[in-house]
Amino acid sequence: MSRDRMAQAFADFNRVQQLVERAAIRLLRVMELPPWLDPEDVMQEGFRIVCEAVERWDPQRARFTTYLYPHLDLFLRQAILRRLRGHLECPLWEEEEESGNGIHETVEALEELEALRHALRCLKEEMPLAFAVMVRYFGLEGHAPSAITTIERRLGLAHGEGKRWLQKGLDHLRWMLQDKDGEVGGG
């Protein structure tokens, strides 16, 4: 990566920083991430993505922030999902070393994951369109994470319909995962 290109991309560093912070906050709020995932790590990942984006950016076509804005959420969501998958795939003894009750946390996470898988199977039967939007948005079932506009185009939905189906699906999942005490988790 050339020094000039990097300088040109970060000419408005305050705007780049603002974009990363907003994307991280938005995803932390929307994705309801586990407590072990530090928001500072999400921000760091955002800046790593920005540095990678400089290499793909064409200064002749758009300002860097204009190029970055539509891609940042998607790439940051992909990075978070990779991190979550990696955390669930690490061996139990590594979990135990990180915290005193790591095995219990891992077992609890696996139970929650199984409850989520069951709820997703039910969602697929009960609300197939919401399921189709959700798996494409979050990159599940072998799909790469996609933007809502891309999903709407691929599924033949009207503008705004994808977001409504995603919200209906999320609401339905929350409802299915509620236990008798009204807390999300197994029941």
Domain ranges of the chain: 1-89, 102-187
pTM over 0.75: no
Q: Which of 50-54, 96-100, 167-171, 178-182 has the highest mean pLDDT?
A: 167-171
Using alpha carbons only, give the angle 137, 58, 146 rounded to the nearest 5 degrees.
Answer: 5
Q: What SS3 class is residue 178?
A: strand
Question: Which pLDDT tens digit goes with each residue over 76-91?
Answer: 887 777 776 665 544 4
Confidence of residue 131 (pLDDT cuts 50, 70, 90): very high
**pLDDT at residue 62, rounded to an integer:** 84
CA distances from 141 to 26, 62, 68, 181 (A): 24, 34, 27, 31
Task: Enumerate helices (H) and strands (E) in the chain, giving the number of each.
Answer: 9, 0
Q: How confident is the model at residue 51 (pLDDT cuts 50, 70, 90)?
A: confident
Q: Which CATH number fits domain 102-187: 4.10.260, 1.10.150, 3.40.50, 1.10.10?
A: 1.10.10
Task: Give the SS3 label for residue 168.
Answer: helix
pLDDT at 9 over 60: yes
Residue 101 pLDDT exceeds 80: no
Average pLDDT of every residue of the chain: 76
